[in-house]
Amino acid sequence: MEATRALPKNKGVMRENRKWLCMPYGVFLVLFIILPILLIFCYAFSDADGHFTLNNFIDVFSPDSSGTTFKVIGQSLGVAALTTVICILIAYPIAYILANSKFNKNAVLVYLFLLPMWINFVIRTVATKQLLIFFGLDPAMHPWICSIIGMVYNYLPFAILPLYNTMLKLDKSQIEAAADLGASPVQVFFKTIVPMTVPGIVSAATMTFMPTMSSYVITDALSGRTIKLIGGQIEHQFLHSQLNVGSVYAIIMLALIGLSVVFENFFSEKKKGAR
């Protein structure tokens, strides 16, 4: 009787002790995520003397600067959207083959596709540039084509992995039932397989879109700095000691990323409700 009474108390002590395991992550979260974001907002809403002002936002969206601002935002969204679409179109059949035991007898193929993630992306970008030049695609002559190829090559594994994990959990009995009821292979694919993989598609789109929009090293190397993304604009402002204006661009980028996350959550919840 005494042992059974002591059991809930011991469980409570264990739970309290487990909370301390979160302390390293909490410290990391405060030092490297929350504090930098607070500093960005402080710089964005202050002048060189540290006084509160909205002039930084006025300068960024003034008639003289708004053309550059909206051009950078448009190019960032365009490159990110195009890269995301191409990555998903390529990653979907690859993930389906890798998740199908009939085609993929072992996990070696999976590691071959994920292997580039283990190499520094700057090295991959330099190698991609030399490869494109070897095949006759000069980045100076074809900046957009070269930049999109570089983006797709670098971020394709980020699209393959969530799709692969989703396709491993496909309900095979539902697919077999659709085929047994007379659905053609095309109907089985579009009406059964694709709806079940929507969560993976949304995750792949998010994991590709968000880093692509802020990545500027790839476009700088493969376009001769003719394509400017919002991440490159932030770097330019910070390198020229324009911390306040650069922080405004950083807030714009955070807002765009936040909108994409909200859209993903809304789409996921809507899909769950439909199911």
Residues 28-81 have pLDDT tens digits of 999 999 999 999 999 999 998 889 999 999 989 888 787 889 999 999 999 999
231 and 142 together in one domain: yes
CATH number of 78's domain: 1.10.3720.10
* Pair 121, 248 in one domain: yes
Q: Within this chain, do residues 135 and 224 fall inside the same structural domain, yes or no? A: yes
Looking at residues 170-186, what average pLDDT do you find? 86
With respect to residue 50, please indicate whether it lies within any of the assigned structural domains: no
Asked whether the predicted pLDDT for residue 268 surpasses 90, the reply is: no
Whether residues 80 and 192 fall in one domain: yes
Does residue 245 sit in the same domain as residue 109?
yes
CB atoms within 10 A of CB 129: 19
- Do 39 and 133 reside in the same domain of the chain? no
Residues spanned by the domain of 211 = 67-274
Q: Do 231 and 214 meet the contact criterion of CB atoms below 8 Å apart?
A: yes
- Kindly state whether residues 40 and 170 are assigned to the same domain: no
Neighbour tally for 74: CB within 10 Å: 10
232: Cβ–Cβ under 8 A, 6 or more apart, which residues? Answer: 72, 216, 219, 220, 225
Same-domain pairing of 116 and 197: yes
Q: Does a structural domain hold residue 165?
A: yes
- Tell me which residue of 200, 201, 194 sits closest to 178, measured CA to CA: 194
Residue 176 lies in a domain: yes
Residue 14 sits in the same domain as residue 110: no
The answer to the question of residue 259 being in a domain is: yes
Let me know whether 39 and 72 are in one domain.
Answer: no
164 lies in a domain?
Answer: yes
Query: Is position 17 within any domain?
Result: yes
Q: Are residues 92 and 145 both part of a single domain? A: yes
Same domain, 10 and 143: no
190-211 pLDDT, tens digit per residue, is 989 999 998 899 999 999 998 9
Is position 249 within any domain? yes
Rg of the chain over all Cα atoms, to the nearest angstrom: 24
User: Is 52 domain-assigned?
Assistant: no
- The domain tally of the chain equals 2
pLDDT tens, position by position, 132-173: 999 999 988 999 999 999 999 999 999 999 999 999 888 888
